Structure 1
Amino acid sequence: MSIPATLEAIGRLDPDLSAFIEVWGEEALARERRTDPELPLAGLPFAVKGPSGVRSYPARRLTAAGAVAVGSTAVPGPGTYWQTWGLGAYGPTRNPWRADRTPGGSSAGSAAAVAAGMVGMATGSDGAGSVRIPAAWCGVFGLKTTNGLLPSPDRTGLASAGVLTPTAADARAYLRCVLDTYEPVAPALPLRAVWSADLGFADTEPEVAAVALAAVERLDCAGVLRPVDARPVLLDPFGAWSAVRGGRPSQGAAVRAENDRRLDALFASADVLLTPATPNRPHGHDGPGRDVYSTALTWAFNLSGHPAASVPAGFTSDGCPVGLQLVAARGADVSLLEMAVAAQEGLIAVPP
């Protein structure tokens, strides 16, 4: 989509969704005119997460490759401790599938903008699930890279860069641009896959688990994966994640070390770990409710550092998107992306 078409779509759709904080229309048009057409991403419109997103390492790499940032997307505003929402120029960010629900967060506007077709790529960052949760709830693809793979301003080491795109295949341009070396290899199918609805501790909604498991079964039928007979059980990372975020990493060291040991053992005999991306469906704009942690299935991998992604798995009976989370070995970001591409192609080949 061209820059003028992108700006037209934003102007038409964003008053209803409030996915953007700012739109840089004149600047984007001027930059498009100045862009060298020989650059690999010449004229590709993309959005950046939050007011400072244009200064992030991935955004600078995308811009250097010729892509054009068209605006900054909504992130959580002040006044609440929960982060699965966004506040844009027109108020709370609304889920494109259900306006009465949040799109997730904290990359809320990025996911909503991609899901609504305003942009085909948006940057994100993920410190507890902030790319994967909104990707799941908006029915798009979201990738969290291996912690430390790309520069991050987060001193705790929990947050890593990510991207949101309509499909996994669309994210290839992002990885090709931000990585110093990019050598995609088609995965050997079927993938050895381990499934868990709860990782041994999460209180996953039965219907959310059923939608994600149905996607796994379709991938089995499509020959994309072969389930490995194992039941992964991790220690609940809530306390350890909170300790690291609070600057007290030693308090969570024992849980972190034990979960690392268990994950190392899992990936010694499996290619990918599969879970629902969230234990719950998108909640209303008044919050998730007391003691509901939408991060329950994601933040373990911010602690461990593994790359993880969410691919659209289907919908609950009330029309809410569900994401299937794929987790791979540390550093296997390119392989994980190709696994996600194969998964999405397999889900298309074997419809519900």
Structure 2
Amino acid sequence: MVGESWWAVGEALERIDRIDPRLCAFIEVWHADALHRTRTVEGQLPLAGLPFAVKGPTGLRSYAARRLLAAGAVPVGSTAVPGPGTYWQTWGLGAHGRTVNPYRADRTPGGSSAGSAAAVAAGLVPLATGSDGAGSVRIPAAWCGVFGLKTTNGLLPTPDRTGLASAGVLTRRVADARTYLRCVLDDGAVTSAAAHGRASPPVAATYSPDLGFARTDPAVEVVVRAAVGRLAAAGVVRLDGAPGSSLSLLDPREAWLAVRGGDPSGGAGAGAREENERRLDAYFARTPLLLTPVTPNRPHGHEGPGPDVYSTALTWAFNLSGHPAASLPAGFTPDGCPVGLQLVAGRGADVSLLEIAGAAESVLPIVRP
């Protein structure tokens, strides 16, 4: 096992050294420490020798990273997060410069888990930690063509006092995210997650291209709608077309900004937040799955998305509500930009969500340009 671990970690370090000067996904790379850990890791541990990356300069201190270390995984470096700049500059700043999208260097990888998504997409590591306060795992996962999970708020410890941010992970395959969740949850959390039941296809779901308020790019909507159609045709989901079955929310922007600014009530958006909570509770009481695009727009250029364009429009409602949500690769727009399908489940149904995502992944093989 040690020999295999050495090869896996050594290969990851070699790829980082060769590719990262162009990708700029890493802030630091821990060559000596990673190789030392590989030599000393106990071979019977479940993740013995698995190379992984952590988000940002403090990522190694996160609860999830500590649990991965205890399972035998080997951290190889910390990934890029946004540097100084305006609020929309979420592309990440690595040791070699601005983090770029692995598919189109002229576009952002999204943020704030920018480096983690880019590193996983480029095959530098199979798994990277992230955190999601408004879509910061799901958006870069969507724009880099990888899988990303935002866990139920409060399921894992987080230093964010607003309650908006939740721990997450970025992987190339859903199976790796399942392994991550199994290793980072304690026994009590595993029991609680299992209590929400397991999903058996076809899973009842509805699809919303805009949640009732977003302005979704037609090119993005075409890709996601086609992916949803394939899931329905394969029997992974059963789309509910009954009157009143779809979900429409109020724009949560004002509420999110208020909570982030320190007002837990939601400030001027308090009414919208309360109404959204009511609608979401009613929806998930009857339907276990919601499908949407991850973002209403394609990956934008490094200069920003333009005025009044919020890449978070379809994600941050679920940071306010606390629901687990995932981004699954859905395909590409004609200009070569990855698009993500967002899957949202009831609070605490993280295990079930990953099972559904795994079934969806099996019928959505992505032909990468």
TM-score normalised to the size of structure 2? Answer: 0.93
The correspondence for 1:262, drawn from 271, 276, 279, is: 279
Stretches (4+) displaced over 2 A: 181-187, 348-351
Q: Does 1:25 align with 2:42?
A: no
The separation in 1 between residues aligned to 2:363 and 2:236, in whole angstroms, is 6
Q: How does 1:168-207 map to 2 (within 5 A)?
A: 168-181=174-187, 182=190, 187-207=199-219
The separation in 2 between residues aligned to 1:108 and 1:84, in whole angstroms, is 7
Structure 2, unaligned runs of 5 or more: 1-6
Q: Does 1:283 align with 2:300?
A: yes
Residue 211 of structure 1 corresponds to 223
**CA offsets per residue over residues 85-122 of structure 1, 9 Å max, x none?**
11111111010111111100000000000000000000
Contact 1:222–1:349 (Cα < 8 Å) also in 2:
no
* 2:286 partner letter: S
The separation in 2 between residues aligned to 1:350 and 1:139, in whole angstroms, is 11
* 1:221 partner letter: A
Contact 1:221–1:350 (Cα < 8 Å) also in 2:
no
Residue 319 of structure 2 corresponds to 302
* 1:199 partner letter: L
Q: CA deviation at 1:83?
A: 4.4
Q: CA deviation at 1:170?
A: 1.5
**CA offsets per residue over residues 134-156 of structure 1, 9 Å max, x none?**
00000000000000110000000
What is the root-mean-square deviation in Å for CA atoms of aligned residues?
1.5
Structure 1 range deviating more: 168-177 or 143-152? 168-177
Q: Does 1:94 align with 2:100?
A: yes
Structure 1 range deviating more: 129-138 or 229-238? 229-238
The correspondence for 2:17, drawn from 1, 4, 11, is: 11
Contact 1:17–1:96 (Cα < 8 Å) also in 2:
yes
Structure 1 pair 128/110, CA: closer, same or farther in 2 (3 Å)?
A: same
Residue 68 of structure 1 corresponds to 74
Secondary structure in structure 2 of the residue aligned to 1:313: strand
Contact 2:118–2:144 (Cα < 8 Å) also in 1:
yes
**CA offsets per residue over residues 269-315 of structure 1, 9 Å max, x none?**
21210000000000011111111100000000000000000000000
Structure 1 range deviating more: 246-255 or 22-31? 246-255
* 2:247 partner letter: P
* 1:327 partner letter: V
Secondary structure in structure 1 of the residue aligned to 2:176: helix
Secondary structure in structure 2 of the residue aligned to 1:137: helix
The separation in 2 between residues aligned to 1:168 and 1:84, in whole angstroms, is 25
The separation in 1 between residues aligned to 2:101 and 2:15, in whole angstroms, is 16
Residue 238 of structure 1 corresponds to 253
Residue 118 of structure 1 corresponds to 124
Q: How does 1:31-46 map to 2 (within 5 A)?
A: 31-46=37-52
Q: How many residues align?
A: 351
The separation in 2 between residues aligned to 1:113 and 1:320, in whole angstroms, is 17
The separation in 1 between residues aligned to 2:274 and 2:199, in whole angstroms, is 29
Secondary structure in structure 1 of the residue aligned to 2:53: strand
Q: CA deviation at 1:187?
A: 2.2
Residue 52 of structure 1 corresponds to 58
Residue 327 of structure 1 corresponds to 344
Residue 161 of structure 2 corresponds to 155
* 2:251 partner letter: D
The separation in 2 between residues aligned to 1:112 and 1:244, in whole angstroms, is 29
* 1:85 partner letter: W
TM-score normalised to the size of structure 1? Answer: 0.97
Q: CA deviation at 1:349?
A: 10
* 1:304 partner letter: S
The separation in 2 between residues aligned to 1:168 and 1:186, in whole angstroms, is 16
Contact 2:208–2:292 (Cα < 8 Å) also in 1:
yes
Contact 1:219–1:350 (Cα < 8 Å) also in 2:
no
Structure 1, unaligned runs of 5 or more: none
Contact 2:81–2:90 (Cα < 8 Å) also in 1:
no
Structure 1 pair 31/57, CA: closer, same or farther in 2 (3 Å)?
A: same
Q: Does 1:248 align with 2:260?
A: no
